[in-house]
A and B are shown apart, each in its own frame.
Chain A
């Protein structure tokens, strides 16, 4: 059941990513909703779920884009595992704490990708690091953390809102019967 939820999270994240990325092509607003989904899965269901989400999400991104297949998967697996471990070690109930995790995961993810590409193609190491858009990475971290904040708040508020709706319907029905 947990695996099914992880799969749903990742697929929804990938579909949202490609749909929204269409409107930001060539723009300065870069975001990685798949990474947000991976961190969400890791914090919600633990490091194993984070690893699976990272593997599936990363590989999906790799095969659908122009990168070496496996680099995104490996990076997201590591990030998902780390986020899951941090989530089990610390009490991360406050939204601010979770946002910090997303910011850290975004920066770590970008740096790991650069490191892996440098290892794969050491002759082009300088080229890989020369044009690193640091401001874009920071902007991505901010956007990802905001999206993560909304996702965490929404998923936390949704069951309560549904329960309240059910309760109010039930109480209005009982009033009508009298």
Chain B
């Protein structure tokens, strides 16, 4: 049996933890100062370990694993050619849209500036779907800014960023949500994460909406965090529910391989969102997730 001294120590430590927890539960907030200091201090170590692991990976991929690079190069050249063609088409569409905006005297829809960032660490708590990026307040990153990748929405910045690091809550996390709209039907809803199969589900979609499998899901910009028009994923399943349709979405981003991301440095203006939403049918209810707050709880 444990000694009396051990039991006394256990009781003291447990009491300390309980007091710490109850202080946060009563104030309904975390320990922002302690967390910011610890995160800032640890971010430096994370950058160091990321540099070492990237070095090892780079050594392997740049010197040893070069088999098949020539054929990959050919394929990439072909892809560039195709993309250049697509870019020209998109430029033509964009210029006609700008001309229309000018004709209709609409406010010009300027794309938000972005900042490239590297993922330097995962979450220290297992199952918690957050990552740390190497850009922080010194680079202009602030809480609640949207984070995207080439293929779609990744998540949002949570907590106060350190000078050179920020924590990003992934969209598939349990407390994450984004206002979305379905591209074909225009039906709106709220994409929420937290499923054990790492899929997203869309809440508040009307049972009347004609949603098809494979339909693209985009951000609607109504949550005030994610600007409108970013790809969230593709509808995987859609069936009628009791009050609302049950829609499952496969995220467009492969969350198991995120190395580089883009932080959207500007938040969408509320009046622009309202203007964008007014033209759509079945607008989603306002208020998604907890912008500004942090999702607390087991992931």
Contact = CB atoms under 8 A, between A and B. Distances in A.
A167 interface: no
Given A23-B122, A66-B169, A120-B25, 8 more contacts: A22-B122, A24-B256, A47-B10, A64-B124, A65-B124, A66-B295, A69-B20, A131-B196
Interface stretch (B38-46, B208-216, B270-278): B38-46
A19 to B, nearest CB: 4
Chain B interface category by residue count: 35 or more
B66 interface: no
Nearest to B48: A15
A145 interface: no
B196 A133 contact: yes
Interface stretch (A55-63, A148-156, A168-176): A55-63
Interface of A: 14-15, 17-27, 30-32, 34, 47-48, 51, 55, 60-74, 77-78, 81, 85, 88, 113-114, 116-117, 120-121, 124, 128, 131-133, 136, 140
13 contacts: A21-B124, A21-B126, A26-B172, A55-B13, A61-B124, A63-B39, A65-B128, A67-B125, A67-B296, A68-B30, A70-B18, A71-B17, A73-B17
A24 B38 CA distance: 23
B21 A19 contact: no
A18 B34 contact: no
Contacts of A14: 124
Contacts of A60: 38, 42, 124
A12 B162 CA distance: 22
Nearest to A81: B10
A132 B127 CA distance: 11
B69 interface: no
Q: From DSSP, what is the main secondary structure of chain A's interface residues?
A: helix
Nearest to B259: A22
A25 B122 contact: yes
A26 B24 contact: no
A131 B21 contact: no
B21 A74 contact: yes
Nearest to B57: A23
A27 B197 CA distance: 10
Most chain B Cβ neighbours within 10 Å, of A18, A74, A85: A18
A120 to B, nearest CB: 6
Given A48-B9, A74-B14, A19 B50 contact: yes
Given A18-B121, A32-B126, A73-B17, A128 B256 contact: no
Contacts of B30: 68-69
A67 B123 CA distance: 11
